[in-house]
Copies of this chain bind each other. A is one copy, B any other.
Amino acid sequence: MTKDPLVIFTPSGKRGNFPVGTPILTAARQLGVDLDSVCGGRGICSKCQIAPSFGQFSKHGVTVADDALSEWNSVEQRYDDIRGLAKGRRLGCQAKVQKDVVIDVPETSQVHKQVVRKRAEARDITLNPTTRLYYVEVEEPDMHDPSGDLERLIVALRRDWDLPDLEADLTVLKALQPALRKGQWKVTCAVHLGDDTFAPRIMQVWPGYFEGAIYGLAVDLGSTTIATHLCDLHSGEVVASSGIMNPQIRFGEDLMSRVSYSMMNASGAVEMTTAVQEGMNALFTQIASEAQIDRNQIMDAVFVCNPVMHHLFLGIDPFELGQAPFALATSESLSLRAIELNLNIHPAARIYILPCIAGHVGADAAAVALSEAPDKSEDLVLVVDVGTNAEILLGNKDKVLACSSPTGPAFEGAQISSGQRAAPGAIERVEIDPVTKLPRFKVIGSDLWSDDPDFAKETASTGVTGICGSGIIEMVAEMRMAGIVDAPGLIGTAEQTGSPNCFTDGRTQSYLVHDGTATGGPKITVTNRDIREIQMAKAALYSGARLLMDKFGVDNVDRIVLAGAFGAHISPKHAMVLGMIPDAPLDKVTSAGNAAGTGARIALLNRDARAEIEDTVHKIHKIETAIEPRFQEHFVNASAIPNAVEPFPILNSIVTLPTATHNTGGGGEDGGRRRRRRG
């Protein structure tokens, strides 16, 4: 007896002998090779495309003849005619083994394909969504052996796809019988594979093979903005991204004022819940329309948010989060039906909310942990998610600590006299000439510096409207480097600083950045009160990080990751001059962009990641800054620029900061030591 032909799959290297006539898809399944299929090998879905290789393969010890596979057949021809099949590709369910063959499974034909992340240091996402499509052919009803249409569908799904006993939503039951008959007992099912809360279940049934795609949302519900990615659940691709302002802003800019609103208004929490749910729905409508899909094709959604937003989104009064001991109503992850939160996506959609780490360290911090994986880091990494509250993680594969720190909205341009949100016309980059002590800057929407002759022309439409968060950080750091602001945070007089732009402004000095009044624009200045706001914000951030370093027993970290949409725009050097972050080599300070949003996307695309982060969160040690005596001490020290006690040797090797002080013993302090309330 001659041996059956050998089939070798690349890149997995899996191999086995199969009888002549075995479809490649069948061989792949038997060997556990990750080859996709939605239609179960019926030549409909084209997901099982493979690329046979021919010729001699000394590495594998085989020679592949030109007729190693069965001939191109009519099913493949029909698919090629209608959709086009790339050169060299075959359908794995149609091509059958004839002789020894080497089969390459392209990335796009893998079920658990890798979704590549842009950043070099980030892990790719393994695609393994909770909701998937399955095509099946169902037995017709038999009066001699009566069973429900649903039960026969479940049998077919178990037989062809090895799915467990499934439940079905009532909406599926209502639509099932017409769908089966219209599809002549062939249907495509969207199946939620289940979790701790929900049994595996059929979410929708389409007659025949469903040509469309199903989608999921990764939502980062922030205090200020709601950002979402719409992802194709089969390919893992982000097909659209969009964001809106959180409509709760009208109830209070920071979280604490929203908690207060709920305490002072009987229906306050309900109003805010309604507002955020409505905002969410408006965003979903917008993103679906942008991607030209039906909102009902959105069958999964993952949410990350801070604890207050978490409670307000769920309709839980955040009262307890406003006072010690900051008890969460629930800290574990949640699986809910989208309709429970009045979300207008697929009526059977289930949503997943990541676990919270503690009363001040929310699901957004958990998402950052999932995305940046400090728990898998060999070196000691400090991850800072910069926002209205800063969430801070410090750790390595041995241990991870977490805390949050109430930076307030100054880093977002709020509570700064000329501050504004990042928008065209906002100053985002600043340089102060060390000799003239005069500023130049760039605004969002233009690449030119303000001293460029064409600057006025190019910014005519936007104007120069204010200073955004990253702009104010550079501004204060530049003022410090130029000696306009001293270490304690006092702006000097024109005389003390040698800058003509310093001017007396009430009891303190201010610094003129840009006077646009001649062209009808604002006069943009930095007041000493602005400096105080930034000092408090950065001191809160630094002292949180420093507290975690104390707890970890270290004085240095190996690297720093700045997360948050805002973190992407911070200049590491300026952040360090300001003393926002601990002293570290500048090339070890990187930005992770919206890591919370990325964490949400990971949890959306990979159900295993949900279990992983639930487990990780249990292992993270939570530090409550409010009850740590050293926090206050660190905060006071960190109010100085960069710091009253920390030496910052690496920073000092790069820049030399003036040591002059502008304090002449008179008044001028305006409460910079106030401890900011949480928000």
Contact = CB atoms under 8 A, between A and B. Distances in A.
Contacts of A325: 140-143, 146
Contacts of A358: 146
Chain A binding surface SS class:
loop
B196 A315 contact: no
Interface in A122-164: 140-151
A332 interface: yes
A328 B167 contact: no
Contacts of A20: none
A329 interface: yes
A23 B39 CA distance: 64
A145 B623 CA distance: 9
A199 B196 CA distance: 7
B177 A315 contact: no
Interface in A465-519: none
A146 B331 contact: yes
Interface residues of A, number: 51
Interface stretch (A281-289, A316-324, A390-398, A536-544): A316-324
A176 B314 contact: no
Contacts of A31: none
A143 B624 contact: yes
Contacts of A640: none
Nearest to A142: B325
Nearest to A331: B148
A513 to B, nearest CB: 42
Contact of A327 (B177, B197, B317, B326): B177
Contact of A330 (B150, B178, B316): B150
Contact of A146 (B149, B167, B177, B359): B359
A328 B146 contact: yes
B329 A173 contact: yes
A168 interface: yes
A316 B147 contact: no
Given A142-B325, A150-B332, A330-B151, A177 B622 contact: no
Interface in A573-616: none
B327 A151 contact: no
A342 to B, nearest CB: 11
Interface string A347-359: 0000000001111
Interface of A: 140-151, 165, 167-168, 170, 173-174, 176-178, 196-199, 314-317, 319-320, 324-332, 336, 340-341, 356-359, 622, 624, 626-627
21 contacts: A141-B327, A143-B325, A143-B326, A143-B359, A143-B627, A144-B624, A145-B622, A146-B325, A146-B357, A147-B328, A148-B327, A148-B328, A149-B329, A150-B332, A151-B331, A170-B315, A174-B315, A176-B330, A177-B316, A196-B199, A197-B199
